[in-house]
Amino acid sequence: MADSNAWWRGAVVYQIYPRSFRDSNGDGIGDLPGITSRLGYVADLGVDAIWISPFFTSPMNDFGYDVSDYRNVDPVFGTLDDFRTLVDTAHGHGLKVIIDQVISHSSDQHPWFEESRHSRTGPRADWYVWAEPRADGAPPNNWLSIFGGSAWTWEARRRQYFLHSFLVSQPDLNFHNPDVREAQLDNLRYWLDLGVDGFRLDVVNFYFHDPELRDNPAMAPNEPLPFGLTRDNPYAYQKHIHDITQPRNLPFLREIRELLNEYGETVSIGEITGHDPLGILAKYTAGSDKLHMAYTFSLLTDDGSPANVRSVVGEMESRIGDGWPCWAISNHDVERCVTRWGAGGDPERLARVVVALVCSLRGSVTLYQGDELGLPQAVVPYDRIRDPYGLPFWPEYRGRDGCRTPMVWSADAGTHAGFSAVEPWLPVDETQRRMAVSVQRQSNASTLSSVGRLLAWRREQPALTNGSFEMVDAGEDMLCWIRSSERQRILVAINLTGKKLKAAVAATTGAVPMKESGFSGRIVDGTIVLEPYDALFARLS
């Protein structure tokens, strides 16, 4: 395959949520100069690239995922010159720069929508998804918004409904219109010309809808729900087979890939959610003509059991073919991993072994800011909740604010953990403040130090960055596999449990533990021995 030696295969990408990374101007909100000031720290971690969540002009109803100008920086984050400086500084540190692109929908304050909502006959009349009401005035079909309620809202000026898969203020663009596709490709080109190295594509399987607007069928009462959904959200009551993941998506992904190919070693990372996400990922990344890689929420669920991880990884391997996954354990949309998976256990040791887990799988890796510190989910009181997704479903669902609180740079309470000189937009969690960068840098035994050593060591192991994958049976609780390249074979064993594990594995013959990985797993007479929350990396002959 032409991409077999590309930089992004096996790369580690560090996700930055700009509102919460570092505030440089004292307004309580993180910004681009704040990111630039900490790029040395990011580079020292041993990652290959940064992914910056949206910083574009926006009314911030969904904190940047509602874009009103695709070609500018929102003043709260800085200026275009600040972005140019960030890119130059990142490249100077050897870091690639990947930015979010939210092209499936815009803000209702985007000039495109302002024009579209006023006229059925103007140049942009069908740039969004408009539909006639039913005879009784009801919405055209039963499609639902992820954020609750109907996905259709009435616009009196056109006497039609418009589609919004998320907030009412986030109308869906009509990708069946070739002018819309060309406009969004031009917006991607704009940022490529400014020097970015690729895009993380938000909800990449949401671009197209069924033009016949057919109703979605109901979910069976006992049918497993897609990631993140519970029966508290009506969206979970439908199979979303007509509103998302349409066949027409694939040709448009090829258009995006053709554009990226014009700019050399650029990359696309797709976000995939919905029914059968692993199957969609395999289809969207197959060959060399669509997405470079994609991630699903399959390891971002509450089930961190060895059985579930083995099932997800095994299914991915059986279905991925020549596609390429990007693994994640946390991001800006989900509860932090050590809280999701670590109830009653040792969160510090768990934090290290889950990084080892994703860094040992076949694929690339995304780490979310704070993963390297082992941060738990922050507790945000109800009166400080800002997430528009969390408020309607409180208290059964507490929203995404707990994973979006400020990055903890120091233990100093006066500077709000080194994030800002003033009260931040979300409160600093006191438990997290005690785990700050300044504290962990003082100890070689800290999570930060351990993760840094692991990433530096992994970068030099071709079997781990771009080798093949073979699952090994090591019993119910131990995860085990072999990664192989032309020059190297490594046996990997992972213990996500709080108990000591032993497993007799034939593949241990001639295996030599690689202690430089930072983990203490050992082999005794052909038996792998792992302490609680430990791992083994062993060189095979």
Using CB atoms within 10 Å of the CB of residue 111, give its burial: 0 to 12 exposed, 13 to 18 middle, 19+ buried: exposed
Are 151 and 105 in contact by the 8 Å Cβ rule? The answer is no
Where is 493: in which H helix or E strand?
strand 489-494
Using CB atoms within 10 Å of the CB of residue 449, give its burial: 0 to 12 exposed, 13 to 18 middle, 19+ buried: middle
* CA 71 from centre of chain: 22
Taking the CA atoms of residue 79, residue 80, residue 83 and residue 88 in that order, the dihedral angle to the nearest 10 degrees is -130
SS3 of 173-207: ECCCCHHHHHHHHHHHHHHHHCCCCEEEECCCCCC
Show the DSSP H helices in 10-79 as ranges. Answer: 32-37, 39-45
DSSP class per residue in 121-166? SSTTTTSB-EEPPPTTS--SS--B-TTSSBSEEEETTTTEEEE-SS
Instruction: Tell me if residue 476 is catalytic.
Output: no
Are 36 and 95 in contact by the 8 Å Cβ rule? The answer is no
* Choice among 136, 212, 262, 396 that is catalytic: 262
Are 322 and 287 in contact by the 8 Å Cβ rule? The answer is yes
* Choice among 62, 82, 197, 202 that is catalytic: 202
DSSP state of 325: B
Are 201 and 269 in contact by the 8 Å Cβ rule? The answer is yes
Q: Tell me how crowded residue 23 is: count the other CB atoms within 10 A of its CB.
A: 25
Taking the CA atoms of residue 297, residue 298, residue 301 and residue 303 in that order, the dihedral angle to the nearest 10 degrees is -170
* CA 496 from centre of chain: 22
Widest CA span of the chain, in angstroms?
78
Using CB atoms within 10 Å of the CB of residue 242, give its burial: 0 to 12 exposed, 13 to 18 middle, 19+ buried: buried
Instruction: Tell me if residue 262 is catalytic.
Output: yes
Catalytic machinery residues? 202, 262
